[in-house]
Amino acid sequence: MSPRLRLTGICKSFGATQALRGVSLEVGVGEVHALVGENGAGKSTLMNILSGALPPDAGTLELDGAPYAPRDTLDARHCGVAMIHQELSLAPHLSVWENIVLGDEPSRGGWLRRTEAKARARKALARLGHEHLDLERRAGSFPIAEQQIIEIARALRTEPSVLIMDEPTSSLAQADTERLFGVIRQLRERGVSIVYISHFLEEVERVADRYTVLKDGQSVGTGTMKGTPQSQLIRLMVGRDVTALYPPRVSSAGAIVLEVSGLSAGRRLKRAGFTLAAGEILGVAGLIGAGRTELVRAVFGLDESADGGVTLAGRSFPNRQPRGSWRNGVGFLSEDRKEEGLMLPLSVAENTVLTKLGSFGRFGWLRRRDIAAAGATWIERLGVKASGPGQPVRELSGGNQQKVALARLLEHPARIFLLDEPTRGIDVGSKAQIYELIAGLAREGRAVVLVSSYLPELFGMCHRIAVMRRGELVDCRSNADWTESSLMTAAVGAAA
Amino acid sequence: MNTRSLLAKLGPFLGLLLVIGLFSLPTEVRGYFLTYANFKIILTQTVIVAIGALGMTLIIVSGGIDLSVGSAIAFTSVVGALLIQHGWPAAAVVLAVVAAGSGIGLLNGAAIAGLRMTPFIITLGTLGVVRGASKWLANNETVNYDASPINSWMTTADPFGWSLPAGSWVALVAALGTALMLRQTVFGRHIFAIGSNEATARLCGVPTVRTKVLIYVVAGGFFGLAGLMQLSRLRQGDPTVAVGLELDIIAAVIIGGASLSGGVGTVLGSMIGALIMAVLRNGSQQMGWPTYFQEIIIGVVIIAAVFLDRLRQAKAA
């Protein structure tokens, strides 16, 4: 029996860059096939070819033994190959059913056939066990997990035989991830083949039957998931041994540098409090929407807090504003690198020195050479892959962008680091470097608040972990006193 | 939730009632302001902005903008006047003028979708280009003609016994057609999809380039129709007419609840927005306010309307 999908010798170049150099991939019927690799390894290019968005330069694609050469994404869908993209891609103003049938609306002479369209949408949702969703409601008004269900339903409406999922859990909290895995298993039982792309090796291990590792545009390893240790995948991905992703934790002992009590802000943060000592890494866990981001934003002064107090090194710190926080040595890293964290068109150097531009001036004139020198220093110290301090940040990969964003806090230099999802969407190699950097900060006696949706990261990095639920900080214990299940229990609020 | 969404839908209506109410307060004005004859005048004054707002609604819902409308109206009115001068029958003139409007739209749409340039920049450019072209075409003077049945469309004299001027009926039918198209056709829903999230629309297989060009072509047709109404009102082709009218039209659409970032907007809202603009102008005249004061008032109303809309959105979120 021929496999559901067979790719042989796929090549693709963009100008002088060879993104894919003879990649082969085989996926069986009803198989979940993990595609892993660092950023820039060629995963997205390969998936764009598979989903019809790009034509390959060389190589062949076969679907159920027959040649498969989609003209565009719509054609690919009609052949039975659908893709779910990393970024949620709904039209927020359109209703649920409109999103599901978008681009493929049933019509007669240009007129929409609403009843038919809704029936199709209902059917697609039913395949996911979510036929109860209100079809008329605006897609943008749903929580993120439901939005993803709508998106999967859109991919399913053509009853695809191959479903590509690109980082489907990157914006999901743990509980929603579990639900997604349930959906994946269900689809697998129906014989749908799934190509699953993820940076989260723990997830891959749980959900995938087989794997293929891509590195520098080539497939460097493929095999059965069961019995393959994570370390082997990591070795294949980075091409070297990464003995441990997380650096060893040095026990912290220091004076309290930050004390937050009864902090309330907006509708999502209710009387949260914690203390942070010098040399300590404090993790903040919780489901999406539990108020973790709101907590660090309120501490930093990005959002106005309605109630509660923040004490910095024994001094009360009311009426916080970002400008004042920076002056007091508090640095903040936004979870949204592209929208809030960085000025994408500006250079590496300009992004690095943004918080202290004044100190690079003389009589109001900027000394551009000093700015470039500062940028160059961090490029070297953090191993940023950039052509130079003058390169626009937009041109860097996600991991390198994140290093630049962190360099801003280091250059400032901050004493208290509020880091919101610092490793979201970046490759394993950069992750390891950022973990090392954060651990180094703690060793130097600086204090770190690490907000993360990724439990292994919190357990790997933090001295203490706080759990938030519905805007309240419900529990804070030392790392050793938590287990993944006790932490999740606290996060979802179930009885222990 | 339901009362709130109802309130959101009624927002522009309430605004209209408020404006009418305000002008009805002073007794000396009310006597004339609140008469059937005056409302007929207001409706007639609304026609040009209303028809323009139909086209602008399509464009704004798709996340675009068109600044060249005023110029397009002047251009098409000059084209119409010249054709009447040359003895074309009225029906042919109507078709030709609408086609001329669509032609300008095709130019805008092709540049925006084909060259992937910002609508603001492209239409800022065509604002100048089309205005210059109309002056060139008209030899830099008004184009006069003897008589034409088109002249009677915008008089309140009611030559056809339809109680409202023909122009108002045209606007009404066009509005109904546009509302139906936005709601019931694939093209209409694709306009919303593109305005809501163009990248998604594209990856779902919506022909975004073709749809965007078509949006500007259809909207251009409406601007041509508005130019025809302008011609009928002035009874001559004037290449210097309707300077800045695009701002009134955009304001009407925004007051009607559309979002400049796309994905939101209704025909009904835009029509009420156009009415609010007309009532404001008419009422200000009745009150004897000088024109500079009208301009200030209308400016404030636009800002207030958008601000209220933001409050509404924030509550809904």
ipTM: 0.78
CB of B206 within 8 Å of any CB in chain A? Answer: yes
Q: Token pair for residue A159? A: 């009853």
Direct distance between the N- and C-terminal alpha carbons of chain A, in angstroms, rounded to an integer: 49
The contacts of residue B290 (CB under 8 Å, 6+ apart) are none
User: How far apart, in Å, are the Cα atoms of A348 and each of A68, A164, A355, A402, B165?
Assistant: 43, 34, 13, 11, 64
pLDDT tens, position by position, A57-71: 999 999 988 899 888
CATH number reported for the structural domain that contains residue B254 in this entry: 1.10.3470
Number of domains in chain B: 1
Of the listed ranges A145-154, A408-417, A448-457, B207-216, the least confidently predicted one is: A145-154
Residues A318/A323/A325/A326 CA torsion (nearest 10 deg)? -160
Is residue B276 a contact partner of residue B298, using CB atoms and an 8 Å limit?
Answer: no
A21 has which bridge partners? Answer: A11
**How confident is residue B20, by pLDDT bands cut at 50, 70 and 90?**
confident
- The whole-chain average pLDDT of chain B stands at 87
Q: Which domain holds residue B21?
A: 11-316
Nearest Cβ partner for B201 among A92, A103, A110 = A103
pLDDT of residue A211: 92
Task: Convert the pLDDT of each residue in B140-191 to its tens digit.
Answer: 899 888 877 777 777 766 656 667 788 888 999 999 999 999 998 999 999 9
Q: At A218, is the secondary structure helix, strand, or coil?
A: strand
Q: Which residues of B touch A94 (CB under 8 A)?
A: 189, 192-193, 196, 263
Query: What sign results for the dihedral spanned by CA atoms B206, B207, B213, B217?
Result: negative
Options 2.60.40.2140, 3.40.50.300, 3.40.50.720, 3.40.1160.10; CATH for A256-492 is 3.40.50.300
The mean pLDDT value for A281-305 works out to 90
B187 touches chain A (CB under 8 A): yes
Asked if residue B6 is part of any domain, the answer here is: no
What are the start and end residues of each CATH 3.40.50.300 domain in chain A?
Answer: 5-238, 256-492
Mean pLDDT of chain A: 87
CA–CA gap between residue A422 and residue A438 (Å, rounded): 10
8 Å CB contact of A91 and B206: no
Structure confidence by residue, pLDDT tens digits, A327-362: 999 999 998 888 888 888 889 999 999 888 888 888
Q: Do B192 and A94 touch (CB under 8 A)?
A: yes
Q: Is B205 within a domain?
A: yes
Strand pairing class (A307-312; A315-316):
antiparallel
Is the Cβ pair A91, B201 closer than 8 Å?
yes
Instruction: Say whether A330 sits in a helix, a strand or coil.
Output: strand
Q: What are the residue ranges of helices labelled H in A168-259?
A: 174-189, 201-207, 230-238
Cα–Cα distance for residue pair A308/A263, rounded to 1 Å? 4
* pLDDT for the residue B7: 63
Between A424 and A409, where is the model more confident?
A: A409
pLDDT single digits (tens) A183-233? 889 889 988 999 998 877 788 888 999 999 888 788 888 989 888 887 788
What residues in A contact B186, CB-CB < 8 Å?
A: 105, 107, 110-112
C-alpha dihedral sign at A320, A323, A324, A329: positive
Taking the mean position of all CA atoms in its chain, how far away is CA B123?
16
Tell me how far apart the alpha carbons of residues A277 and B187 are, in angstroms, rounded to a whole number: 60
In the block, tokens 């041509």 appear at B224
CA distance B317 to B310: 10
* Residue A7 contacts residue A25 (beta carbons within 8 Å): yes
Report field, pTM of the whole predicted structure over 0.80: no
- Report the CATH superfamily, name and number, of domain A5-238: P-loop containing nucleotide triphosphate hydrolases (3.40.50.300)
- Could you count the other beta carbons within 10 Å of the beta carbon of residue A179? 16
pLDDT at B2 over 60: no
CA distance A202 to B33: 73
Q: Is residue B2 in some structural domain? A: no
- Average pLDDT of span A11-30: 85
Q: How many CB pairs under 8 A join A and B?
A: 66
Q: Which of A107, A96, A185 is nearest to B181 (CA)?
A: A107
| A397 compared with B142, residue with greater pLDDT | B142
Taking an 8 Å cut-off on Cβ atoms, the answer to whether A93 and B203 are in contact is: no
